[in-house]
Chains A and B, each alone.
Chain A
Amino acid sequence: MTSLPSLPTPKKLGLVIDLDVCVGCHACVISCKEWNTGGYGAALSDQNPYGADVSGTFLNRIHTFEVVPEGGQVIGEAGEARIVHFPKSCLHCEDAPCVTVCPTGASYKRAEDGIVLVDESKCIGCGLCAWSCAYGAREMDLAAGVMKKCTLCVDRIYNETLQEIDRVPSCVRTCPANARHYGDLADPASDVSRMVAERGGYDLMPEQGTRPTNKYLPPRPRKPLAASAGSPVLAENTDGAKGFFAWLDGMLDRI
C-alpha cells in the first residue's frame, strides 16, 4: 500500500498557484479549515482556541516573504523588491516520500489521479511522514492523534450532489483574487497546464527530488516606482482640451 504507483498516474490532479495574484487575504486558509473540519476524516482540532496560546491543525497556510534584490533595501524603491504572499498546501508529489516512509499503509497515493491521502483508520500517529515532507504539508492533529493533510477536497471534486461550479477544492472556489487554479496537470491541453507553460510555472524545492504535481506561477516583472515618477503630472497643461472645456480654458485665460 505505501509503495508508490509504479507508472505515472493517468491523471495528475493538482493546483496551480499564481504568486502574482495572491493578495494574502487568508480566505483560502479559512475556507479550507471550514470545509475539511466537517468533511474527510477527523475534525481539524484547535488547542486552547480561546486562550492566548492558540494553535491548531491547518491543511493550507499562507506565508509572506520579502524578496530583496541585490543592493535593494527599501521595498518599492529598489526595482523588483517586493512582498510575495505564498499559499502552501500539499503538492501531491509524484515521488512522495511521505507515502513510502509510512510503516502502516495509512499514507497512500491514488493510482488513478495521483492524490496523496491518509487512511486515518490505519494511522498510528508516529509523525514520520511529516518529518519526511520538506514542504510542511502534513500536520498531526493533536486531538485525534492522526496525520492530517490536504485531500485536494476529494470529497468535493467528484461529488455529484454539488453543482458543477463547486466541484473544485474549497480554496480554489473561495479565492477572491483567482490566484488558485485546479485541474489535471497530466493533460497538456488543460487550463492549468497551459497556464504553467505560458507563465513558466515551477516546482518548489526541486532538489528534494519529490517531483511535486502542484506548480507555482512566478510574480510578473514589476515596473520600478522610479519609472512611474518619470512623467510628472502637469496640472497646468490644458493641451488637447476640446469643445466647452477649450472655450472655458480660453475665457479663463483672458480674465
Chain B
Amino acid sequence: MHPAPSIILFTTLSGMGYGLAAVLGLGLLDPTMIGTKVAYALALALISGGLLASTLHLGNPQRAWRALSQWRSSWLSREGVMAILTFAPLTFSAWLAAIEGRHVVAVGLLGTVMCGVTVYCTAMIYASLRSIQAWNTGLTPLCYLLFAAAGGLLLATAFAFVNGGNGALPAALALPALAAAWVAKNAWWTRLRMLAPLSTPESATGLGHIGHVRLFERPHINDNYLTREMGFKVARKHAAKLSKLAMLAGGALPMLLLIVAAVAGQGTLAIFAAVFAVAGYALGLVVERWLFFAEARHAVMNYYGG
C-alpha cells in the first residue's frame, strides 16, 4: 500500500494525542502546574492536527461532514463520530485543568475510555479490510492501542518532570507499556512474514486448475490509480532494517532514557532524558507506521503481477 504522508501523520499524531489525553484523564499529573495545562493543550493540538491531516487526502474535503452518517456499518464513520464526541470530555477536562486547576475523576475517566474507543475505531478501519491480509488481524487494534498508551505515558512522564515533580510513576507505567507495544508489534511482524497469501494469481483468475498463472501483459503500459495506491512495495531487506530502526529509536532508546530520568529523579537531566525519549519514540512510530502501509500487500496486485 502507498504510504501517504497525510495518513501516517494522522495516525501517529492523533495516536499520541489520544494517548496523552487518556493519561491526563487518569489524573496522573498535578492540574495546578503549568506543565499539565500545556499538556492538555498539546493533547488537543495533536488530535486536531491529526484529524486535519487526515482530510488532506480527500478528493472532496468540503463534504467531509457526510462521513459522520454511516456509523452503523463503517469504521471510518464510527471513528469520525467518536473523534468528535471525545472532544466533549477532553475539552471539559482541559478547561477544568487550565482555568480551575482541578481534575474531575468522572470526566477524566470518561475521556480516557472514549480516547481508547476512538483509537480502536481508527485501527479497525485497517483491520477490517479483508483485501489487505497484513492488516486483517486483531493484532492491528492491539498495536494501535498499546502504541497510543505508551506514547501518552511517555509524554506524561516528560510533562511530570517539566512540572518539577517526580515523573517516576508515569515512567514506571511507560516502561511496561513500551515493552508491551513492541512485543505486540513483533507478533504482528512475525505473523506478516509467515503469512500464506489468502488470494493468489490462481484464485484471482480462477485459472489455477490449468497451471501456474503469471501476468503476461498489464492492461496499460503506465501506472494507474490502483498501481499507484496499492502497488507500493518495500524491499524485504529494507523492511527488516527499518523495523530494527523503529524498535531501537521507538523502543530501546526511550526505555533507556526513561530509566535515566527516573534515576535522576528531577532536574534538567531528567527533563532532557524524558524529552529525548519522546522524540525517539515519535521517530520510531513514524517508521513503524510507514512500514505498516509499505509492507502491506493488496489482493488486487494479483492482477498486476506485484
Give which listed residue, B59, B74, B230, B302, contacts A131 with CB less than 8 A: B230
When C-beta atoms are compared, the residue in chain A nearest to B135 turns out to be: A131
Whether a CB of chain A sits under 8 angstroms from the CB of B34 is no
Stretch at the interface among A156-164, A177-185, A188-196, A202-210: A202-210
Contact yes or no, B211 A58, CB < 8 A: no
Considering the chains assembled together, what is the distance between the CA atoms of A19 and B210 in angstroms?
A: 13
Give every chain A residue within 8 A of B68 (Cβ-Cβ).
Answer: 103
Give every chain B residue within 8 A of A125 (Cβ-Cβ).
Answer: 58-60
If A140-B59, A209-B130 touch, whether A29 touches B219 (CB-CB below 8 Å) is: yes
Give every chain B residue within 8 A of A174 (Cβ-Cβ).
Answer: none
Contact yes or no, B211 A124, CB < 8 A: no
Whether a CB of chain B sits under 8 angstroms from the CB of A101 is yes
B70 → chain A closest CB, angstroms: 5
Contact yes or no, B70 A102, CB < 8 A: yes
Number of interface residues of B (CB under 8 A): 59
B168 → chain A closest CB, angstroms: 43
Whether a CB of chain B sits under 8 angstroms from the CB of A127 is yes
Contact yes or no, B199 A64, CB < 8 A: no
B-side interface mostly: mixed
Considering the chains assembled together, what is the distance between the CA atoms of A141 and B216 in angstroms?
A: 27
Give which listed residue, A67, A132, A136, contacts B211 with CB less than 8 A: A67
Whether a CB of chain B sits under 8 angstroms from the CB of A199 is no
Contact yes or no, A63 B207, CB < 8 A: no
Contact yes or no, B211 A68, CB < 8 A: yes
Contact yes or no, A139 B216, CB < 8 A: no
Stretch at the interface among B18-26, B75-83, B91-99: B75-83
Within 8 A of B (CB), among A34-78: 53-58, 61-70, 72
Contact yes or no, B225 A140, CB < 8 A: yes
A103 → chain B closest CB, angstroms: 4
Considering the chains assembled together, what is the distance between the CA atoms of A60 and B76 in angstroms?
A: 28
Contact yes or no, B70 A104, CB < 8 A: yes
* Residue picked from B58, B199, B207, most chain A C-beta under 10 Å: B207
Give which listed residue, B59, B131, B199, contacts A146 with CB less than 8 A: B59
Contact yes or no, B70 A127, CB < 8 A: no
Considering the chains assembled together, what is the distance between the CA atoms of A65 and B213 in angstroms?
A: 6
If A53-B222, A101-B75 touch, whether A132 touches B214 (CB-CB below 8 Å) is: no
Give every chain A residue within 8 A of B75 (Cβ-Cβ).
Answer: 101
Considering the chains assembled together, what is the distance between the CA atoms of A29 and B213 in angstroms?
A: 23
Give every chain B residue within 8 A of A144 (Cβ-Cβ).
Answer: 59
Number of A-B pairs whose CB atoms are under 8 Å?
207
Give every chain B residue within 8 A of A103 (Cβ-Cβ).
Answer: 66-70, 74, 76-77, 80
Contact yes or no, A205 B215, CB < 8 A: no
Contact yes or no, B74 A102, CB < 8 A: yes
Contact yes or no, A57 B205, CB < 8 A: no
A60 → chain B closest CB, angstroms: 9
Give every chain B residue within 8 A of A133 (Cβ-Cβ).
Answer: 131, 300
Contact yes or no, A218 B209, CB < 8 A: yes
Contact yes or no, A80 B132, CB < 8 A: no
Considering the chains assembled together, what is the distance between the CA atoms of A29 and B300 in angstroms?
A: 19
Give every chain B residue within 8 A of A128 (Cβ-Cβ).
Answer: 74, 76, 125
Whether a CB of chain A sits under 8 angstroms from the CB of B268 is no
Contact yes or no, B69 A105, CB < 8 A: yes
Give every chain A residue within 8 A of B213 (Cβ-Cβ).
Answer: 65-67
Give every chain A residue within 8 A of B235 (Cβ-Cβ).
Answer: none
Whether a CB of chain A sits under 8 angstroms from the CB of B32 is no
Within 8 A of A (CB), among B28-60: 57-60
Contact yes or no, B76 A83, CB < 8 A: no
Contact yes or no, B131 A219, CB < 8 A: no
Contact yes or no, B215 A69, CB < 8 A: no
Contact yes or no, B199 A130, CB < 8 A: no
A149 → chain B closest CB, angstroms: 12
Contact yes or no, A55 B224, CB < 8 A: yes
When C-beta atoms are compared, the residue in chain A nearest to B4 turns out to be: A127
If A29-B219, A127-B229 touch, whether A68 touches B76 (CB-CB below 8 Å) is: no
Give which listed residue, A54, A123, A209, contacts B60 with CB less than 8 A: A123
Considering the chains assembled together, what is the distance between the CA atoms of A145 and B59 in angstroms?
A: 4
B284 → chain A closest CB, angstroms: 25
If A124-B60, A139-B224 touch, whether A69 touches B73 (CB-CB below 8 Å) is: no
Whether a CB of chain A sits under 8 angstroms from the CB of B64 is yes
Give every chain B residue within 8 A of A204 (Cβ-Cβ).
Answer: 203-206
B187 → chain A closest CB, angstroms: 24
Within 8 A of A (CB), among B213-240: 213-220, 222-226, 229-230
Give every chain B residue within 8 A of A9 (Cβ-Cβ).
Answer: none
Give every chain A residue within 8 A of B220 (Cβ-Cβ).
Answer: 55, 58, 61
Give which listed residue, B80, B211, B303, contacts A81 with CB less than 8 A: B211
Q: List 7 A-B contacts (CB under 8 A).
A: A70-B212, A101-B73, A101-B75, A101-B128, A125-B60, A126-B58, A136-B304
The residues of A with any CB-CB pair to B shorter than 8 Å are: 1-3, 19, 29, 53-58, 61-70, 72, 80-84, 86, 88, 97, 99-106, 122-128, 130-136, 139-142, 144-147, 202-209, 216, 218-219
